[in-house]
Structures are given as C-alpha cells and as structure tokens.
Amino acid sequence: MSARDAQTFRVVFVCSGNICRSPMAAEVFRELAESAGLGDRIVSTSAGTGDWHVGERADHRTIEALHRRGYDGARHRARQFTAADFADNDLVVALDHTHERILRGWAHDESEAGKVSLLMTFDPAAKTTDVPDPYYAGPAMFDEVLGMIEGASRALFRQLEPAIRSAV
C-alpha cells in the first residue's frame, strides 16, 4: 500500500441491489468530502448484497431525487459486494438490519465484522435504524429516503472528519 493509499479513508455503502439507497449514500458522502476539501482523502463507493442489477445504472428515481438536491448520480453502475470489499474499505455501512446481518455473516473474522455499521445509527435524531427501501414506492419516497441518508451521512462525516484531517 502506498503512502497515499494509507492516507485515504475508504467507505462502502451497502443495500440490496445497489440501485437506490447505497448509490444515494455514496454520492452524498462523496459530496460532503468534496465540500470539506477532503475529496482526495476519502473514497466513497457502494455495492449491493444481491447481483440482480450488476452493471446497471441507478434507478431513474434515484438519479432524479439526487438531481433535485444537486447531486450527480448518473455515473453510477451497480455492483455486488465481494469479500475483497472488507480488505479494500475502512468502513462498511449497511443501509438496514438485513444488510448488516448479511455483511456480518460474510465477514471472515472479527476485524471484518467490526467494520460493519448501520448508517442511521450515526444520526442521533433518527427515529429508525433502517433506511426503508423505496424501490416499490413513488418518487416522494425516494426524496424522503434521500433526506434520511443526508442527515445520517452528515453525522457520520462529522464523526470521521477530525481523524481524517489529522491523518498523516
């Protein structure tokens, strides 16, 4: 690992098919890093626990919800979480309890399992620990889910930012 790689914090957001919630979270977190001047120190990606949508763009309602809030989700392509993602990332963020359970089950040891967290647990104002899946709902639900993700991502970023800034 190069010195630059050691100074880069890597986070992967994980949902079911990697076309709704996790691409939203990855894009929001990437924008938070860019806005704070840490875009070169943080890599934010996403993946799904399932392989149903591998290679596809994000759901059009995801892209539209992101666009309405000033984000760009057009470059996203879905992929499935792999064992290598544990080694390649410092933090694995599940969007709901089902993803958390699956990811902890896939972990090979306590070190990998210890990287798994639920996104909403970072937001002290959150009323739930699960981000609901908007896939079978309308555009309004995508906006609501994006709002939840923004709040929790800001809280997560505030928690990580001091350590990332002080890393040499």
Neighbours of 133 (CB within 10 A): 17
In a domain, 117, yes or no: yes
Q: Going by C-beta distance under 8 Å and a sequence separation of 6 or more, which residues neighbour residue 41?
A: 7, 8, 9, 33, 164, 167
Q: Quick check: pTM over 0.85?
A: yes
Q: Is residue 118 part of a domain?
A: yes
Helices (H), 36-138: 60-68, 84-88, 97-106, 110-113
15 is catalytic: yes
Selecting among 21, 30, 61, 79, the annotated active-site residue is 21
Between strands 42-48 and 91-94, the pairing is: unpaired
Cα 23 from Cα 66, distance rounded (Å): 10
State the CATH number of the domain containing residue 79: 3.40.50.2300
Look at the chain and report how many structural domains it folds into.
1
Asked whether residue 168 is domain-assigned, the answer is no
Q: Determine, yes or no, domain membership for 167.
A: no
Q: Average the pLDDT over 156-160 and give the result.
A: 97
User: Using one digit for the tens of pLDDT, what is the confidence trace for 16-40?
Assistant: 999 999 999 999 999 999 999 999 9
**Is-catalytic flag, 21?**
yes
Flag whether 139 is in a domain.
yes
The residue from 15, 20, 30, 61 that is catalytic is: 15
Mean pLDDT across 98-111: 98
Residue 11 counted as domain residue: yes
Residue 44, domain member (yes or no)? yes
pLDDT at 141 over 80: yes
Catalytic residue among 90, 130, 133, 143: 133
DSSP state of 89: -
- The answer to whether the CB of 75 falls within 8 A of the CB of 64 is no
| 57 belongs to the catalytic site | no
Residue 3 has pLDDT above 50, yes or no: no
Residue 65 lies in a domain: yes
Classify residue 57 as left (phi > 0), alpha (psi -120 to 50) or beta.
beta
Q: Give the Cα separation of 13 and 146 in Å (integer).
A: 14
pLDDT band at 7 (very low <50, low <70, confident <90, very high): confident
Q: Which residues form the domain of 108?
A: 3-162
Where residue 70 falls (left for φ over 0; alpha for ψ -120 to 50; beta otherwise) is left
